[in-house]
A and B are shown apart, each in its own frame.
Chain A
Amino acid sequence: MSKYYVDKFLYTVDRDPELMRRYKEDPRSLVTAWEQSIGPKLNDAERSTVNSLTEAERNALINHDYVALFEMGAHFFLSLTIFIGLYDEEWTQKHGPLSFQLDFAKRLQHWAGRDYPSVAT
């Protein structure tokens, strides 16, 4: 498990409009490209060799599965922000303001009143 690397995915994609477009249109190909060329990047000159996604993490990212990501301990702020970026506009048009955020909360109701999975890395 690499919570850090899942968070790195969310962080690097959310801050880049072009990556956000690709993550929305074709998540599988974006996740593949990210693992090859973006995830390992330490800076413009250096590559890191130490991190990789597990199959479960890769699938959660490909499926935009924010429930699974919450349960893995992905950071709540990164997860909320990126999925608002992907879905808020279309949900607002179809179902009204905050409809996506409220549905997101509803899908996590089984965690209400329990200790949440830790986001510590």
Chain B
Amino acid sequence: MAVLSAVLASTHHPFYLKAVSMPPEQQIPQAAEWKRKVEAYRETLTRAKPDILVMVGADHFHQFFLDNYPTFLIGKAPRYDATFYNEEREFSIPKYVLEGHEDLSGFMLQGLMDRGFDMSFSNELKLDHSIICPIITTRPQADLPVVPVYTNIFAPPLPSPKRFWQLGRAIREIIDEYPSDKRIAAIGTGHLSLELGGPRQFGEHGPDPEFDRQAIEWLATGDIDAILKNVTHESMAKSGNATHGFMDLILMLGIAGPEKADYVDSLDLYHTMEAYLTWYPKAEAA
């Protein structure tokens, strides 16, 4: 059976590459520390020696729009283009082509259907920065095949936090059952408190630092009960209108299981708090 060698859950800050690539005199004061933290986080993936990456993100109205917006979708394609014109324009993120892994995509799609998740799928998927940001931060050589999973954290009505957890649990079971000698890492990104296009955007900190602190603590201790007790669509909206991306981090905790994280780091930046968590599933440690 395949080995789940690491689970990574982090925020994705689309300005990271731009922030650390500018001439030093134009960089924000935290740029050097940011780069250091990201490179330390990258090492948590490198040491897991993955062969395939299962990548969880959310399309930000790039390929998908309100005429047909999937709740949960899996990519099943031999390769994936990435980065749209308006992302290059705004974030200076380069274009990529990532190899796919159709066999694991198909196994995952069928496995999820068998477990009651009626997934949408795409055989021609162009990836956006929710997948490319973690490629830039954790695997910049972009040399591994990927299985992309998209969720709706964006276009209401959204699935519940509990459903994200359940989807994560199902993905874990399927990875554990995948008949292969490959090492799989699951990487997902979302947000802590975040405001976009509203009165609290681009402040000196994220819009709700208290939620951010608490959310990192919940993830770091694997406390899914506290998350499901306290986090609702309404509570997330109070923390910032785009905070619902936190549900992708709940999904990643679902893949890891209700366990303490093996690596936890964070960085308080303008606009958002960054969080970087990694779990090494127990079977691997034994």
Contact = CB atoms under 8 A, between A and B. Distances in A.
Interface of A: 4, 7-8, 11, 14-17, 66, 70, 75-81, 84-85, 88, 98, 101-102, 104-106, 108-112, 115-116, 118-121
Contact of B154 (A77, A105, A110): A77
B197 A79 contact: yes
Interface of B: 60-62, 65-67, 84-86, 89-90, 154-157, 195-203, 237, 241-242, 270
Given A8-B65, A119-B155, 17 more contacts: A11-B61, A15-B62, A17-B85, A66-B197, A76-B196, A77-B60, A84-B90, A88-B90, A101-B202, A104-B197, A105-B201, A108-B198, A110-B199, A111-B198, A112-B200, A116-B237, A120-B156
B85 A15 contact: yes
Given A11-B61, A15-B86, A75-B61, A80 B66 contact: no
B3 to A, nearest CB: 37
Contact of B242 (A17, A76, A102, A108): A76
Given A8-B65, A118-B156, A80 B197 contact: yes
Nearest to A17: B85
Contacts of B156: 118-120
A109 B199 contact: yes
Contacts, number: 79
Contacts of A121: 66, 155
Contacts of A17: 85, 89
A73 B89 CA distance: 25
Contacts of B155: 75, 119, 121
A12 to B, nearest CB: 9
Given A8-B66, A75-B61, A76-B241, A70 B198 contact: yes
A70 B197 contact: yes
Contacts of A77: 60-61, 154, 196-197, 242
Nearest to B28: A97
A78 B157 CA distance: 17
Nearest to A42: B67
A118 B60 CA distance: 18
Nearest to B89: A85
A98 B203 CA distance: 10
Contact of B198 (A16, A76, A88, A102): A76
